Amino acid sequence: MHRACVFDDLIGQQRVADFLGKAAGDGTISHAYLFAGPPGAGKKTAAKSFACALLCDDGGCGACAACYKIKRGLHPDVHMVTPEGAASYMVSQIRELIHDVHLKPVDGSRKIYIVEAADAFNDGSANAFLKTLEEPPDDVTIILLTHSFDAVIPTVASRCQIVRFKRIPPSMAEGIIVERTGVDSAQARAALAAAGGVIARAKELLDSPMRREARDKVLATLKDLATMDGHDVLVAARDLLAAVKAPLEEIKALQAEEIREREEFLGSSVGKAVIDRHKRELTAREREGIAEIFAVTESWLRDCLVMSQGLDDLVSNLDVRDAMEEVAVVITPNAATKALASVKETRRRVSYNVNPQLAMEAMLFDIREVLICPR
Ligand SMILES: [Zn+2]
């Protein structure tokens, strides 16, 4: 049977690709799926590929306008859903979602909802969602994603077909990026470290000069941190947050393109739903950018630690090896652990909507203290 080429994007998950390709090919599509597997396993890529297979006239060619829009997050019938609450889905957000689910598709024959963080439903939002999840309109497919199957409320999980993803080993992920983008393995490894191990995000980062610049800025800040005074640290925190905002201009350009296309097609201005989706997209990307600051910082600290133990093979950020060497000769495991704990705590605080500037300042002060007195 012909399997849609769009599943070629899904690497190291042959069983999943075969299963989804067959379902799309036969038309034996479930109303709801739960994709479960560790970060970086390719769940979101798989969900988008599946959407292509369902909406493309060619069964997921990967090259037509529909496939292109889906892959870039611009298709009007493929919706990404992320929690709007600090740590969970809010009932009001789910009510809006349910309303939207019952509207007709715009371009295609079907609508697809990709719901991230399926473990972020609390009892209230789960209850609001259950009936729709169990019996959505015929032309709707809901795909929930989770890193942690066990953290998904059982009443949610039991209404979905479960699709399990394997962990992709880092060496394999690195090889995939080298093969797909043509960068060398050192660059691939550094991009993966910044992207929290997620292949698709690492590839995006390599494609975006502004995101690479943000990553370099984090590393430059860490290099100079020990010699900064208090005022410098405040400025550095502000500059880092500004650096992750810069790539949003790339997204805004894509959104403007979508609005132009749609207005041409509709002959009138686009509605609130599109504007709201664009706003959510920007918020999500900004959060991703902040997550990259944390990931780069963690990888830098881990690199200093492994170098201090003589395990140079494990270094992720080879391009700044010399600068890390200076830290590695003095840092103790205890000090590195303290700094890593501060990053983790800062990540948690930001996820609970603490002002990112304040959180970032506190983190840099903590790390500076460790670098000045690395015992
Ligand atoms: Zn296509």
Q: What is the mean pLDDT of residues 26-44?
A: 93
Give the distance (Å) from ligand 1 centre to CA of residue 220. 42
- What are the domain boundaries of the chain? 5-164, 208-372
105 alpha carbon – ligand 1 mean position (Å): 17
User: What pLDDT was estimated at residue 351?
Assistant: 83
The rounded mean pLDDT for the chain is 91
Determine the distance separating the centroid of ligand 1 and the alpha carbon of 52, expressed in angstroms: 6
CA of 29 to the centre of ligand 1 (A): 18
| 58 Cα: distance to centroid of ligand 1 (angstroms) | 6
25 CA to middle of ligand 1, Å?
A: 14
Sign of CA dihedral 202, 203, 204, 209: positive
Ligand 1 geometric centre to CA of 248 (Å): 27
Distance from Cα 70 to the centre of ligand 1, integer Å:
9
Distance from residue 272's CA to the centre of ligand 1 (Å):
28
Q: Using 50, 70 and 90 to split pLDDT, how confident is the model at 3?
A: low
What SS3 state is found at 306?
helix
Tell me how far the alpha carbon of residue 276 lies from the centroid of ligand 1, in angstroms: 27
For residue 6, the CA-to-ligand 1 centroid distance in Å is: 8
pLDDT at 291 over 70: yes
Q: Identify the CATH assignment for 5-164 out of 3.40.50.300, 3.60.15.10, 3.40.50.450, 3.40.50.2300.
A: 3.40.50.300
Q: Phi first, then psi: what are they for 373, rounded to 5°?
A: -130, 80
- Band of residue 4 on the pLDDT scale cut at 50, 70, 90: low
- The reported pLDDT for the residue numbered 125 is 94
Distance CA 118, CA 125 (A): 11
CB 146 within 8 A of CB 114: no
Percent of the chain with pLDDT over 90: 70
For the ranges 39-53, 137-151, 244-258, 285-299, which has the lowest average pLDDT? 244-258
With 90 as the cut, is the pLDDT of residue 101 above it?
A: yes
For the segment 82-94, the average pLDDT, to the nearest whole number, is 85
CA distance 281 to 287: 10
CA distance 88 to 120: 4
Report the pLDDT averaged over residues 162-186. Answer: 92
18 Cα: distance to centroid of ligand 1 (angstroms): 18
CA of 161 to the centre of ligand 1 (A): 25
72 vs 76: CA distance, rounded Å: 11
CA of 96 to the centre of ligand 1 (A): 30
pLDDT above 50: residue 2: no
Mean of pLDDT values over 276-297: 88
Mean pLDDT of 313-332: 94
C-alpha 311/C-alpha 231 separation (Å) is: 35
Average pLDDT over residues 222-247: 95
- Residue 1 reports pLDDT greater than 50: no
Token couple for 70: 């889906």
CA of 64 to the centre of ligand 1 (A): 4
Rounded Cα distance between 183 and 190, Å, is 11
Which residue from 41, 109, 99, 33 is spatially nearest to 78, judged by alpha carbons? 109
